[in-house]
Structure 1
Amino acid sequence: MAISKKIILKTLPEDPGVYQFLSKEKKIIYVGKAKNLKKRVSSYFLKNIKSRKTLNLVKNTKFIEHAVVKSESDALLLENSLIKENQPKYNILLRDDKTYPWICIKNERFPRIFLTRKFIKDGSEYFGPYTNVKVINILLNLIRTLYPIRTSNYNFSQKQINNPKNEIFLNVHKNSGHSLILGFKKFDKSLIKNLVSEESYNENIEHARDILNGKFSFIKSILKKKMINFSKNLEYENAQSVKEKLNLLENYQSKSTVVSQKLSNIDVFSIISDLDFAFINYLQIINGRVVRFHNQEVRKKMNESDEKILSHIILSLREKFNSQSKIIISPFDYKKLINLKFIVPKSGDKKKLLDLSFKNVKIFRLERNKQIQLIDPEKHINRIMEQMKIDLKLKSEPRHIECFDISTIQGTNNVGSCVVFMNGKPAKKYYRKFNIKTVNGQNDFGSMKEVVYRRYRRLLEEKKVLPNLIIIDGGKGQLSSAVKSLKDLNLFEKIPILGIAKRLEELYFPNDTIPLYLNKKSETLKIIQQLRNEAHRFGISFHRNKRSKSALVSGLDGINGIGENTKNKILKKFKSISRLKNVRDTQIINEIGKSKAQKIINYLKDNS
């Protein structure tokens, strides 16, 4: 289904991510990153754009694609990978061979730790990549402050250092918590306090590795003690310096989802579906980098499972994009059907990739549904009604829903409200208010029983259409009260009824002690919540008006010569005592005459 750019812009997510502009031949002509995809992509299509390059880009853009990531940093890394892979026509800044920096723990005796842009497969460990060199420098400085880590060969050759038969030590001079590396040294008993053995050095490397992996608890405890000691000694500048390092550790993210040196060539697939369509996301990873993302919508056949649909899509997408990957990450294991290695990950980097794919496919489905809502509202409503029918196990679609709520404060001015939704939308002309007549004091159950009974007795008497579903704002007690009224009217089991409890949004059904829990993002739950909230709003509004009127009438009861007609006239005009106190005397005189107005004015002054 071809979707116009105007519709796509309206339904873009407000998440960090990467976007691609494609030509009419579906060739990528521009790749960009965004902290907020909706705002950034929309900015290209504003009317006041003057840049010739941007105008040409927009003119040649026929399709827009995007991928959502967890952070702005990941967006920058993914943008870099996509530009290098696709070399888009309108990208000029990242088309060179520049790569983002890593931190390397060198595979050698007394390993060095340093910044590098070169990725060499020699057994060394690499952490990153990082989008900010300043962060790397602070981390390296932190590690070197805490532990004596060498930066060069000093007085020994690389051959001497690498010789395992050569027992050597690092000669470290320590002073006031600071370390100065003087070079390598053979064992010298007179310098034993300054010598760091290879075993001790490797323990320091292990602590440094924890920092680079984001395991900070041990390091943070050391830094906090240092900060407290500096403060006690009134060394506030040193304390502030340590505090800044702590803040860095709090905000530091050690790993990227879109770039990982632990991954090679992998295809990642995910799928979700609704009644009629399945939605698939595909991520292609080459040399540890996401270099392609693709979303696809597929019409489902009768009772076709996600597992079966995805097995066909995997083969077609791999052929379409000429994927040579031997490893596939997916929610299902197809190794018996397809001669490749399938992984259904439970944790680690591979699980993060699958989670990223699922996040994108969920957003893709949400966008498609929003687009259908804009293009074909009737189709959108039909889909939601059918979904509600399935979720709530109804016999027919709930095209006409009524929701009830009771409003009261300390048992006074009890009122009920009934709101009506037609085809999932408020039908305000059918809303009804109820003054509670048969219940005194605070009794939500009795009030609910009265309101439901009065509502449907009247509909029966007037031979009007009954709803397809009744919703009660409340738990088991309110639901049971409403059910009694339906039984009295011989309507129970003729109209489906349920109650929604606010605490965990449980849905209760008659004769069932176990509530139904719908997914918090379920469209069915959202419609029910809208009904509940609208009934509450409508009831509260009515209740406030009733309280204001009661306060005004009772406030005028003590005035001699002011009868019911005058009170009602004042009530209709000024609504409340507080408003009446703030109006000009002439306004009251104009409304009820000078004689009666003077009595009210004098009374208000005496009781102000």
Structure 2
Amino acid sequence: MTDPTPTPAFDAKTFLRTVPEEPGVYRMIGADDKVLYVGKAKNLKRRVSSYFQKTLSSPRVAMMVAQIRRVDITATRSEAEALILENNLIKSLAPRYNILFRDDKTYPYIELSADEFPRLAYHRGAFAKGARYFGPFPNAWAVRESIHLLQKTFQLRTCENTVFQNRSRPCLLQQIKRCTGPCVGLIDKDAYAADVRLAARFLDGQASEVIDDLSAKMQDAAERLAFEEAAACRDQVRVLQAVLHKQFADSRKDEDVDILAAIEEDGLTCVNIAMVRGGRHLGDRPQFPSGAAASGAEDSLLAFVEQHYGQHPVPTRILVNLSPEPLREALAEIVDQPPGVVAPRFAAEKAWMEMAEKNARLAIQARARDTGRIEQRLEALRDALDLEEAPQRIECFDISHTMGEATVASCVVCEAGAMKNSEYRRYNITGITPGDDFAAMRQALERRYGKVAAGEGVCPDLILIDGGKGQVSAAREILAEVGLESVRMVGVAKGEGRKAGLETLIFPDGREGLALGGESAALHLIVEIRDEAHRFAITGHRARRGKARIGSRLEDIPGVGPSRRRNLLAAFGGLDGVRNATVEDLCRVEGINRKLAEQIHGALR
């Protein structure tokens, strides 16, 4: 029997003649049409050509190029379109040679809203049109510290719009001089806007200029004998000066700098990003690559730069602990005016880098300890349940309700020993006898694994059911109906007095239950997953129950229909606001006369 004809090598020279000099996305394809790598480029011809030079940037790239059998090109109208397409393709195809980091859209920002009296707020997620955003910050602590400082100095509002629009008297923040009280007219629009401009300039890193302006304003007020205004300016200057004295220990400049330290140790690579904004060191954040083949520190750092600065603002300077030249080239593909990318030179810069490298090494040590602990627990679970291999994907179900009301089922996912929040699911259970946990479990499993049987979703290696023989029996029936009876399943029955460590594992084949004991690493993992399923279920149940009760409580009052209920909830920001309102307050709501206001007031108390 002869061997099949080998796949011909890729003719890069011929192919490159056809590549346009336009923005777009390229896909490196290997044998069996497997996608090896997805990338974007400002100039497709120049970027793709760089992969077929005599000398390549790293052994990883050389290994990938040797496997290329063809390259697919998609031209786009702009770099922005290319970035979106690249992101979508990487997520859907999971190419072997793409180095992926945690989705850094989760970096927090400070938001100044687009309202008439802008609100100062902590923000994560998509940006709203018209609002201003400052960041990113490495962690929530840095954002909240900055908001606290801005409240203390510029006294901007932080309350939600529903609260702001319905205030009738100043809140506590106004009384302790953390807000100027625009909700009740204690400051006019122009004066508030001036405070907003000062806060925005401070967040933009112009702290020294803000202090100079406040000092000049203080002097002018003193000359006009407006001593209260001068004292307020003096207090603002003192706060800002104290902050500068406290936090500018490493920098005497109002500068924005990112410090990137890539460290490779013990088979792990970490890219640690530390952020300096307006001369203030705001902390750092370690990132670990995933989905990479033989990725080292240089490749990981380059991949991080492309992903991070493709979605977040670029500072004026970037300090790196490796060669800066490849990063300059990568940033030239992302932004029109690349920042300065340099190695640390001065004492303050070297101190920042030493701290970033130290924290990267500490993060690697912590990750290594966690990895070893996870592997130990998975192996213990394999031995305890007599499985052929350690389960890589575990799904756990729980049911939550109050006397049969608002029943919710949860499904949580543990993958490779770590909880995978993005794949959690909740199921609102309907059409069953209230309080029938067996029927609720059957419905949840049917909805989850009916899709798996139809080819949608991932089949787990192990299913955990929070419950005893009844729930396990119901689960077994559903799995048999959808053709997944071969998937291993175990029930987790609570022990005597519901004490931790006394749980018994229930098997669907009817054999005697297994008590692993409180010292078992396998039981620790099972209980951790079970408790997470319980938490997720009860959170969903409370939200569903609360929503149902809010609606029914108001609509049970004669004369309050859906329209008036919506008006009441909008006017007072929820049921608690309606409950605390006086009869006079209720009368001000559209459609509520005094007689009905008295009925509502009496019914809710």
TM-score range, shorter chain: 0.3 to 0.5
What is the TM-score normalised by the length of structure 2?
0.36
RCO higher in 1 or 2 (8 Å CA, sep ≥ 6)?
Answer: 2
Larger radius of gyration: 1
